[in-house]
Amino acid sequence: MIKLIPAADHHHAKIGDWLESYYLFSFADYYDPANVQFGPLRVFNHDRITGQNGFPLHPHAEMEVVTVVLDGELTHKDSLSNDVTLKAGDVQRMTTGTGFSHSESNNSDKNTELLQLWFLPNKKGLAPAYEHMSLDFLDAKNKLVPLVTGQKVLENVVYLNSNSTVYYGHVGRGENIDFKTFKIRKALVYVLTGGMLVNNVEAETGDQVRLESQDIISLHGSAEATFILVDVPAAEVNY
Question: Does residue 102 have a known ligand-binding role?
Answer: yes
Question: Does residue 12 have a known ligand-binding role?
Answer: no
DSSP-derived secondary structure letter, 58: E
The rounded distance, in Å, linking the Cα atoms of 86 and 49 is 14
Say which CATH superfamily domain 2-233 falls into: Jelly Rolls (2.60.120.10)
Q: Convert the pLDDT of each residue in 38-82 to its tens digit.
A: 999 999 999 999 999 999 999 999 999 999 999 999 999 999 999
- Mean pLDDT computed over every residue of the chain: 95
Sign of CA dihedral 135, 95, 114, 6: positive
Domain parsing of the chain, residue ranges = 2-233
Q: Work out the percent of the chain whose per-residue pLDDT is above 90.
A: 94
pTM (2 d.p.): 0.96
Question: Does residue 11 have a known ligand-binding role?
Answer: no
Q: Convert the pLDDT of each residue in 109-137 to its tens digit.
A: 999 999 999 999 999 999 999 999 999 89
Confidence at residue 152, expressed as pLDDT on a 0 to 100 scale: 75
